[in-house]
Structure 1
Amino acid sequence: MALLRKKSQSGSDRGKIEGRKFIDLNNFRFSDEKPDVTTTLKVAEIYRFEDVRRITDHVYGGNIVLLDCSNISNDDLLMRRVIEEVKAIGREANGDVAGLGKNIIAITPKGIVIDRNRIRAPY
């Protein structure tokens, strides 16, 4: 008694190869469905002081912005100016501002607070 039997092919089926069909997920889009997103996390790089002004509309629009200041981290005077400007943007937007590491600054809009306590694994 055989549990698995090879299916016999008729004359018309001999040229066909039956296999699994795979869906390429890169080509699969949900064009009809749009997520109900109100807040977006944006990442911005700062190369000069004028770049800070470009992020104000994003913060006022309700988005969270992460500033990568690694390009200007060697210039202490420029870093101080950028930090003071970012703090002013946070105050004007009634949001929150916090440094994440040495070269990353997070700015949140009104209603979102940055928790300063780190989550650590229990050891």
Structure 2
Amino acid sequence: MGSKGFMDKIFGNKPAAEAEEYTEIDLSEYEQAIGEGPAETYVRVAELTSLAQIPELKREIYNGNIVIVDITPIKGDSLTRDRALKDLKQVAIDVNGDIAGLGENQIIVTPMSIKIDRTKFTAK
């Protein structure tokens, strides 16, 4: 499967005409930690700049954490991008987790027993 087909499978295929407008949102007032103490599962956020980071991302997933990865820095390097996505997809399979694209530049990988619902919903 070519890199285009692999990317479409992870991110979905959006027509180029659907350009999304970027708006900066200040969430600083909402970023206070609620409660103190350790959690059983963390949501970790990473920016992937090289394949050297993959072992640490895999370790986080194997430890039961949810990982959101920004692939913007490697998006133009199809060899690195495809290898990283293949490795992360394999981890999701290994732990019976899940992997999905969040927009064009981010992916989310979940550990065991956490599945990603790919249907969008709106509040009623």
TM-score range, shorter chain: 0.5 to 0.7
What RMSD, in angstroms, separates the aligned Cα atoms of the two structures?
1.7
TM-score (norm 1): 0.67
Quote the residue 1:100 is aligned against. 102
Q: Rg bigger for which structure?
A: 1
1:24-80 CA-partner distances (Å, limit 9, x unpaired): xxxxxxxxx744621110001111112111111111111100011011111122111
Q: Which 4+ residue blocks in structure 1 deviate beyond 4 angstroms?
A: 33-36
**CA offsets per residue over residues 77-109 of structure 1, 9 Å max, x none?**
211111111101111111111111111010000
What is the count of residue pairs matched by the alignment? 90
Compare the two structures and name the one with the higher helix fraction: 2
Q: 1:121 Cα deviation (Å)? A: 5.7
Match of 1:8 in 2: none
C-alpha distance 35-84 of structure 1, shift in aligned 2 (>3 A): same
1:59 aligns to what SS in structure 2?
A: helix
Q: What is the CA distance between 1:116 and its match in structure 2?
A: 0.2
| Structure showing greater relative contact order (alpha-carbon pairs closer than 8 Å, 6 or more residues apart) | 2
Structure 1 letter corresponding to 2:59: D
Gaps of 5+ in 1: 1-32
Corresponding position of 1:67: 69
1:109 aligns with 2:107: no
In structure 2, the gaps of 5 or more residues are: 1-34
